[in-house]
Amino acid sequence: MACTIYKPDPASLSYLASVLSTGGLVALPTETVYGLAGNALDKQALRSIFEVKGRPLIDPLIVHVLGVVEAQQLAHWGPMADRLAQAFWPGPLTLVLPKKPCVPDLATAGQPSVALRAPAHPLFREILALAQVPLAAPSANPFGYISPSCAEHVVTSLGNRLEHVLDGGPCDWGLESTIVSLLDPEKPVILRHGPIPPEAIAEALGCELHLKDTATASDKEAQIAPGMLSRHYSPHCHTYLVKNQENTPQGARPAARVCLARPLEIPDEAGVQYFWLSESGDLQEAARELYQLLRKLDQPPWKAIYLELAPETGIGHALNDRIRRAASCSP
Ligand code: TXA
Ligand code: MG
């Protein structure tokens, strides 16, 4: 299958919107990562998304809409959803709410809830407006692999299974959206860390937040704290979590770093090259760099990746979550 990469000119946008509204799939940029989009109300399109990604049907999809009015057609809305949407939509926040019957079971893995997000990326929004359908869009990577933060990543890992990719340049955040479940209005739960930190969610809601203990989620159940398999976003090569060191051969250590070495040994200086996620310790920059760098290093001549954690504040929660998952298969 030949894969075409489109520049975002008006003719391409309206063509791609028509592909989507007639049941086809298109990889689209969002402000978090690239998504593999299809009509969320079309069962055949949903089936194709799972097939192209090699994704198990128990892992439900995020449905993208323009805003609150469109979200209310798909889910039972409430005051908590209103507060969060006011504060963070359009943007990198996904809300899990009780679904309405029009949402196909395939999109939700048979659960009575649906995950909804109004993305901020102008190209995604333009496509939503033109296609006039809600768009289911998981990250546009093979299941379990590192999410794509630029069009080239999509083409490299899915180009032989996908016909259309819209190139909107690199993603602003580079990590997937924060997911909050509002299924129990008394007890909002963060299901996945993302660019909107827990502090900001708690402040907007004016109440205490709960965190899903992802360590207990079984990889076989429908993913209600979902998609949260302990190993995810993972490079193919051995990836280890190592203790942060104060100093390196290249000087004092910035906030987060990735380093490399020979396989199955803790690095000694001769075999190691250090890569900073952010030289200045800017966590947002570190988050944006993480997937770019993991993909770059997940190929020869590099044999293993050693990762350090970042300070657990702001987007550091999400950054560390992805670092731990990338490294959780270490022998
Ligand atoms: O930033 C993002 O969220 C990106 C862009 C493309 O929007 N999308 C993304 O989708 O990360 P995906 O499929 O890679 O992750 C979706 C997560 C999954 O882990 C899934 O289990 C969870 O959302 N999810 C979907 N529906 C759910 C539901 N009804 N209840 C709980 N979790 C749900
Ligand atoms: Mg994903």
What's the pLDDT score for residue 240? Answer: 83
Average pLDDT in the 177-186 region? 94
Average pLDDT in the 31-40 region? 98
Distance CA 66, CA 140 (A): 20
Ligand 1, atom 12: closest residue by C-alpha? 138
State pLDDT tens for residues 43-89.
Answer: 999 999 999 999 999 999 999 999 999 999 999 999 999 999 999 99
What's the pLDDT score for residue 249? Answer: 53
Written as six digits, the tokens of 215 are 């360590």
Binding site membership of 91 for ligand 1 (Cβ less than 6 Å): no
Percentage of the residues of the chain whose pLDDT score is greater than 90: 68
Average pLDDT in the 209-228 region? 53
What's the pLDDT score for residue 253? Answer: 56
Contact 74, 65 (CB under 8 A): yes
What's the pLDDT score for residue 189? Answer: 96
Residue 239 has pLDDT above 90, yes or no: no
Written as six digits, the tokens of 100 are 């309405």
Binding site membership of 137 for ligand 1 (Cβ less than 6 Å): yes
* Ligand at shortest distance from the CA of 226: 1
Written as six digits, the tokens of 188 are 């909002």
Residues whose beta carbons lie less than 5 angstroms from ion ligand 2: 139
What distance in angstroms lies between residue 320's CA and the mean position of ligand 2's atoms?
16
What's the pLDDT score for residue 37? Answer: 98
The backbone region for 153, taken as left when phi is positive above 0, alpha when psi lies in -120 to 50, beta otherwise, is alpha
Closest atom of ligand 1 relative to the 99 alpha carbon: 29
Distance CA 46, CA 39 (A): 7
Ligand 1, atom 15: closest residue by C-alpha? 138
Average pLDDT in the 7-22 region? 98
Q: Going by DSSP bridges, is the β-strand pair 113-117/62-64 parallel, antiparallel, or unpaired?
A: parallel
Q: 155: pLDDT confidence band, cut at 50, 70 and 90?
A: very high
Binding site membership of 292 for ligand 1 (Cβ less than 6 Å): no
Average pLDDT in the 3-8 region? 97
Residue to mutate (ligand 1; options 63, 149, 179; most atoms within 8 A of CB): 179
Q: 278: pLDDT confidence band, cut at 50, 70 and 90?
A: confident
Binding site membership of 28 for ligand 1 (Cβ less than 6 Å): no
DSSP state of 117: E
The backbone region for 251, taken as left when phi is positive above 0, alpha when psi lies in -120 to 50, beta otherwise, is left
Give the number of other CB atoms < 10 A from CB of residue 42: 20
Q: Which residue has the higher pLDDT, 312 or 244?
A: 312
Cα 284-29-39 angle, rounded to 5 deg: 135
Binding site membership of 61 for ligand 1 (Cβ less than 6 Å): yes
Using a 10 angstrom Cβ sphere, with 0-12 exposed, 13-18 middle and 19 or more buried, the burial of residue 249 is: exposed
Binding site membership of 297 for ligand 1 (Cβ less than 6 Å): no
Q: What does the mean pLDDT of the chain come to?
A: 88
* CA dihedral sign of residues 100, 122, 167, 178: negative
Closest atom of ligand 1 relative to the 113 alpha carbon: 29
Written as six digits, the tokens of 261 are 């070495």
What's the pLDDT score for residue 223? Answer: 46
What distance in angstroms lies between residue 262's CA and the mean position of ligand 1's atoms?
34
Among the residue ranges 2-6, 96-100, 156-160, 325-329, the one predicted with the least confidence is: 325-329
Binding site membership of 90 for ligand 1 (Cβ less than 6 Å): no
Contact 3, 159 (CB under 8 A): yes
> How many CA atoms, within 13 angstroms, populate the side-chain half-sphere of residue 189?
14
State pLDDT tens for residues 252-271.
Answer: 555 566 666 544 455 555 56
Binding site membership of 32 for ligand 1 (Cβ less than 6 Å): yes
What's the pLDDT score for residue 302? Answer: 78
State the pTM of this model: 0.91
Closest atom of ligand 1 relative to the 34 alpha carbon: 6
Q: Which residue has tokens 């990198």? A: 92
What's the pLDDT score for residue 256? Answer: 62
Binding site membership of 224 for ligand 1 (Cβ less than 6 Å): yes
Contact 33, 227 (CB under 8 A): no
Q: 138: pLDDT confidence band, cut at 50, 70 and 90?
A: very high
Residue 311 has pLDDT above 90, yes or no: no
Binding site membership of 33 for ligand 1 (Cβ less than 6 Å): yes
Average pLDDT in the 285-292 region? 93
What distance in angstroms lies between residue 267's CA and the mean position of ligand 2's atoms?
30
Give the number of other CB atoms < 10 A from CB of residue 52: 21
